[in-house]
A and B are shown apart, each in its own frame.
Chain A
């Protein structure tokens, strides 16, 4: 009796296994229909620790697709945007990426906001030959470029920000600095570049300190930096850490300037640090203060119109992250407009045809050797003056 049942189940399962194999073949035959819509996938971290990054990226993407579709789509074909939230979680990013690539047959996938999530997605993009444009900061997403054929990214890399800072320091005649960096991926990747480029700009790092994002007090690290004879403190992190550091520096009466990173390019930093924020200098994208960008700037038009539309719809600032979201989707739209409507040709378009393309983050020129396409010129220096970020004239 038991043997019979065992046999039955065994036969059944073998049968089902064969059925599984054949049904898979049927599936792969589909999906070659004439496009009645362009499917674009986007994975951003709308919730979780990366939500301050993901939310503006998510909103900007939705805003632009709505606008394009209201205008009648691209050459009469509407865009179907599939937005997915990875919750700042690598496993979720993997699952959503699989869904967008296989189930939804997306032409291109945008995202994600964080570097870790973007790297997880990169593996799937490379394996399935799907173009992907990330909004993550880490340079490893597109480096080495030979192994990143299908992957691009639009945000400034840390290397640009560090170059900007060191150029500024050189001009100020400062050559001894102390670094205070967050222990998360943003801070460590910043520190890596600070160390790498220091000798090129003739800068000596006298003291290297780190902290955790939620630490309530960094006086101990600052005291050590102070006694090392540094002429400036370079702080690499996102809120609230740098705001705490600014307050600590004020309490310790440290006269040396604090240089931040593009991670605190938002009003929130000033709200947290209050008057201790005065005089803090950072490198940033231009979207931080659209009204201060000179009219003859190549990006003026793009930045002002995007900023206006965003604030009108969502009632808050898009920040630099909104600019990443904007540029990612606009690059794809640019490709579709030029007639690149499958995965392969979209990738080729991005790599070879995007030259001096004006985005909200900067001017992009992609090439087979550069999948970031930005130079440090796209960043400007800003200083907190009277409780507001102000463009620092060169």
Chain B
């Protein structure tokens, strides 16, 4: 049996070795890498292009959902890939953001733009309180705590009937208007959502390539090593946790004003796990990976849907099986996710 001290020492040694090996490889100083704007513009072009290539409403709705999920996945990728923390309660922040704006705009008649503030700040506050009490937790314990939080919020949405209207859902949410133009489901909401995704991507890339990003990565590699060189690990972990909650809240706001009604079933543990799958699939250390993961998961459901129309024996249950299969394959064959695979192909080395 190894004592705790031994284990920590081993961890430190491996991490410092990792750290050094990263420097030894030429041209791979990810920390000081600048944002690849060409890639970003390519992404923008694709976003603008899609509604021309496919003008079926079904695919546009799917794509809009993919955008909303991308925002949550980006937050989770920052938390998992850069700060090394796992959250199983992302759907709860998503739900809080969603219900906050639904209640404020419907029951109290606020403008959706004003309630956006609350949709972002309320999850941030919850994350702050949670982070404050759980700052000493890490690894599995943090995952368990966020899991519990997710379940508590779900039960609250179900049972606090005076406010949330219970299991049948909150309905009558007004749609949004921008410069006098009503944003409704379809092309306009697609561009709105993906416009926000682009902003979030830009923001996240800047964080990743800044001082904060480098600190976070050092925490991910070894918390002990980074705290021993004077990094306030707790502070950074907390900040990134709050940011991921804010992004989930923003996604919730987008979702609520896209739909006429929302119900607690959209914010259950299943949703949290799907978000996690997106991040793992895309590669948790990458912003692009998170977006790719969200798109890929949506793509699978489209494929299953289309196959289901051809062959009656293919039902929606196939989706779950395929998700599971892909996840297992990813973990075995490409543990760093799809983005790592693509990166390796294009650069010749990881």
Contact = CB atoms under 8 A, between A and B. Distances in A.
Interface in A248-287: none
A188 B56 contact: no
B142 to A, nearest CB: 28
A141 to B, nearest CB: 9
Secondary structure class of chain B's binding surface, majority of residues:
helix
A10 B316 contact: no
A115 B168 contact: yes
B58 A183 contact: no
* Chain B interface extent, by class: 35 or more
A312 interface: no
Nearest to B182: A127
Contact of A126 (B37, B61, B65, B260): B260
Contacts of A184: 167
B58 A123 contact: no
B185 to A, nearest CB: 6
Contacts of A185: 166-169, 263
Interface string B187-219: 100000000000000000000000000000000
Interface string B156-199: 00110100001111011101000000001111000000000000
Contacts of A138: 168
Contacts of A16: 45, 48-49, 52
A70 interface: no
Interface residues of A, number: 48
Nearest to A85: B316
B37 A6 contact: yes
Contacts of A17: 48
Contacts of A343: none
Contact of A189 (B168, B175, B261): B168
A95 to B, nearest CB: 5
Interface string B58-85: 1011100100000000000000000000
Interface in A17-63: 17, 19-20, 23-24, 27, 46-48
Contacts of A94: 61, 185, 258-259
Given A124-B185, A185-B166, A119 B171 contact: yes
Nearest to B184: A127
Contact of A90 (B48, B55, B173, B266): B266
Contacts of A47: 315-317
A116 B263 contact: yes
Given A47-B317, A91-B65, A188-B167, A101 B261 contact: no
Interface of B: 37-38, 41-42, 44-45, 48-49, 51-52, 55-58, 60-62, 65, 158-159, 161, 166-169, 171-173, 175, 184-187, 258-263, 265-266, 315-317
Interface of A: 2, 5-6, 9-10, 12-13, 16-17, 19-20, 23-24, 27, 46-48, 85, 87, 89-92, 94-96, 98-99, 101-103, 115-116, 119-120, 122-124, 126-127, 138, 140, 147, 183-185, 188-189
